[in-house]
Amino acid sequence: MGGALDPAVATGRNLARAALADLGPGSRIVVAVSGGADSLALAAVTAFVAEREAYELSGMVVDHQLQDGSAAVAARAAEQLAGLGIPSEVVAVDVGTAGGPEASARRARYAALERTAAEAILLAHTLDDQAETVLLGLGRGSGPRSIAGMSPVDGVLRRPFLTLRRVDTERICQAYGLQWWTDPHNSDPGYRRSRLRAELMPLLEDVLGGGVAEALARTADQVRSDSLYLDDAAAAVELPLDVPTLTDLHPALRSRVLRRGALEAGADGSALTAAHLAALDRLVTDWHGQVRIELPGGIACVREGDSLSYVRTPVGG
Ligand SMILES: Nc1ncnc2c1ncn2[C@@H]1O[C@H](COP(=O)(O)OP(=O)(O)OP(=O)(O)O)[C@@H](O)[C@H]1O
């Protein structure tokens, strides 16, 4: 890169540096690259930081094999990484269809990423992604868990670009001379997220004024902080559960304790809805002799007298 440093590049490098600041030299870092502007930009600024901090950086490109030409897109992404001096691996995954192709692709992608033995796996979600996630969560009515958006650190996963605008990732790519791939799904009105991006966000900016995306992302941060506090408080409540104790809990805590009990018993967290939690709550607070609530993942919550327990539903039963 010649000439003056683009401010977006400087910001991107600072974000990558800050996101990895706790790691020592030699740490293995994997950047997850789709070939889009977001992840290529993240790879570029992380390569800069990795060289200075002596991190061992590599890229992973997942080929979901869902679209024609996906192997070529993946190969092109790997080529761009090579141009940045980043060795990479292209992993082709077999995506099932359970829960729809998008959800299956996501599951297969995260599984492939988490198989890598890295201290940190970097994802390039931006502030715009965060704002869209909050809006989608609001529309689903699924409560603080989804309005809280994505966390900058989630186990081994890190998201350094959550405060960076998408347009800045394009600037970074331009500054590095990178050619990014534009996913045709992003402009396909058949996808709710695409319409939200193309139609709803501009309308919101028009009605509410600029800075809506930032405001939504800030809301996510605030809700996440409150939610984490309540989750911690719920984690401190001892299980198994008895009805008088549960009745005395604040509803915000009770719903979390009930959810935690279900998850610890093996319920499928991704399929556990607000309606399931409301039904569990009624087992405590609005009891008319109902004895069990079936939950996703082959688990049931059973009330016997004043005690609640989670049991595995017998296969075929
Ligand atoms: N095919 C891929 N190979 C490797 N990494 C990918 C791939 N697709 C996406 N990623 C990583 O995941 C990040 C988010 O991508 P995207 O916004 O497309 O995900 P999504 O489908 O919305 O799902 P989620 O947000 O749950 O990851 C990207 O910035 C990139 O780091």
Q: pLDDT of 214-261, one tens digit each?
A: 999 999 999 999 999 999 999 999 887 899 999 999 999 999 999 999
- For ligand 1, whether the C-beta of 132 sits within 6 Å is no
pLDDT at 84 over 50: yes
CATH 3.30.465.60 fits domain 237-312: yes
With a CB cutoff of 8 Å and minimum separation 6, the contacts of 194 are 185, 186, 187, 188
Average pLDDT, the chain: 93
CATH number of the domain located at residue range(s) 7-124+160-182 in this protein: 3.40.50.620
pLDDT interval class at 186 (50, 70, 90): confident
- For ligand 1, whether the C-beta of 38 sits within 6 Å is yes
Return d(Cα 100, Cα 191) in angstroms, integer: 12
Nearest CA to ligand 1 atom 15: 125
- For ligand 1, whether the C-beta of 109 sits within 6 Å is yes
Distance 38 CA to ligand 1 centre (A): 9
133 to 31, 142, 168, 177, 194: CA distances (angstroms): 21, 12, 19, 30, 12
User: Phi and psi dihedrals of 194, rounded to 5?
Assistant: -65, -45
Using the CB atoms, write b or e for 17-29: b if 16+ within 10 Å. bebbeebeeebeb
**Predicted local distance difference test score (pLDDT) of residue 7:** 97
**Predicted local distance difference test score (pLDDT) of residue 216:** 96
pLDDT at 172 over 70: yes
pLDDT at 282 over 50: yes
Distance 61 CA to ligand 1 centre (A): 10
Of 29, 22, 17, 30, whose CA–CA distance to 61 is shortest? 30
Return d(Cα 144, Cα 134) in angstroms, integer: 10
Residue 98 in marked binding region: no
pLDDT interval class at 317 (50, 70, 90): very low
Of 282, 296, 276, whose CA–CA distance to 313 is shortest? 296
β-bridge pairing 299-304 and 88-92? unpaired
- All CATH 3.40.50.620 domain ranges in the chain, comma separated: 7-124+160-182
* Percentage of the chain lying above the pLDDT 90 cut: 76
- Tell me: ipTM over 0.90: yes
Q: Lowest-pLDDT range, 95-99, 157-161, 183-187, 201-205?
A: 95-99
- For ligand 1, whether the C-beta of 43 sits within 6 Å is no
Of 256, 213, 227, 247, whose CA–CA distance to 126 is shortest? 213
170 to 8, 37, 39, 173: CA distances (angstroms): 9, 5, 10, 5
Name the 3-class secondary structure at 135. helix
pLDDT interval class at 104 (50, 70, 90): confident
Beta-carbon-side half-sphere exposure of residue 143 (alpha carbons within 13 Å): 13
> Average of pLDDT values for 280-307?
93
pLDDT at 195 over 70: yes
Pocket test for ligand 1, best of 29, 30, 33, 34 (most atoms within 8 A of CB): 34
pLDDT at 59 over 70: yes
**Predicted local distance difference test score (pLDDT) of residue 2:** 61
Nearest CA to ligand 1 atom 18: 34
- All CATH 3.30.465.60 domain ranges in the chain, comma separated: 237-312
